[in-house]
Amino acid sequence: MDCDLAVVGAGPTGLFATYYAGFRGMRVALIDSLPELGGQITAMYPEKAILDVAGFPSVKGRDLVEGLVAQALTADPVQLLGRTAAGLATDDDGLTLTLDDGSAVRARALIVTAGIGKFSPRRLPAADGWVGRGVEFFVPGFEPYRDQDVVIVGGGDSAFDWAIHLEPIARSVTLVHRRDAFRAHQRTVEQVRASSAAIVTKAEVAALRDAGGGTTGPLAEVELVVDGAPRVLPAQAVVAALGFVADLGPLQQWGLETHRRHLVVDSSMRTNLPRVFAAGDITEYPGKVRLIAVGFGEAATAVNNAAVVIDPTAHVFPGHSSEGS
């Protein structure tokens, strides 16, 4: 298929880039390896409260995505979901993206908004054999944890966010971390400390067991080693919030300049390849801050600069969307 702009990555930044490209009159193809729009938020954090998007004191991930999808669909994009952008070839007139299903997209420009790329959760060694049987890596919904004893393993923002959300509905919540310092935002840490959730530090998970002390029945308890001493906690659910291993996948073979698995861009969101831009968490430049709010601004910057590549008679700044014609 042919289009003006291809957007690889259908998370918040990609959705906003799609809308903004439509606002500028471009024909857009939106590509994502996941089967639905919303990216990482839809896959892992639909119930998470997001606190750093302008105009929303607090907004659930699913509600933010719902608004972004409605906005993006005004551009009437071609949606190529469940497909991975595998190959890239550029020429003087445009570029060709080949997808893993053998199809191809011909575009005048490309914006990569792939976030952290493909992601897989970090293992909790003691939980081998328990995944899907009481152990999960993220929390797409809270109701299954009602009246359960929940152990959350990790010290980052996700671990503390889930502790806050699960504390009102679970019978008990215990957050376990191997160190006594946390990566999570200090305000969130203070909220958990002020709640009924327990925090156990200098601790590691040693074993998971059923009620009979085995591994074949439903999860019933977690054995920790806390500062060298054993401790057993009741648990019908464990959330292993240990982060994710990111993989840029085929993008790494395209000749894009990278730094620590991120794409290096300039102030116009241009990569080192002609006609290829990037926006959102996947980008790297001096002073980069990885927030959804930042990704929105980068998406608009990338689209406006891509517009001139697509049509040299266009202007980088088209005027405000609130202005009349």
Q: Which residues are annotated as a binding site?
A: 13, 32, 40, 45, 85, 119, 281, 322
| Phi-psi label, residue 319: left if phi above 0, alpha if psi -120 to 50, beta otherwise | left
Cα separation of the two ends of the chain: 31
Q: Retrieve residue 155's tokens.
A: 């010290």
How far is it, in rounded angstroms, from Cα 131 to Cα 122? 12
Encoded amino acid at 27, one letter: R
Q: Retrieve residue 164's tokens.
A: 């806050």
Distances (CA, A) of 27 to 30, 113, 175: 10, 17, 47
Q: Retrieve residue 130's tokens.
A: 């328990």
| Cα torsion 65, 20, 36, 76: sign | positive
Q: Retrieve residue 74's tokens.
A: 């005004």
Q: Which residues are annotated as a binding site for FAD?
A: 13, 32, 40, 45, 85, 119, 281, 322
Q: Retrieve residue 290's tokens.
A: 């990885």
Answer whether 220's CB lies under 8 Å from 213's CB. Answer: no
DSSP for 114-178 reads -TT-EEEEPP-GGGTTTBTTTEESS-S-SGGGTT-EEEEE--SHHHHHHHHHHTTTSSEEEEE-S
* Residue located via tokens 């292993």: 240
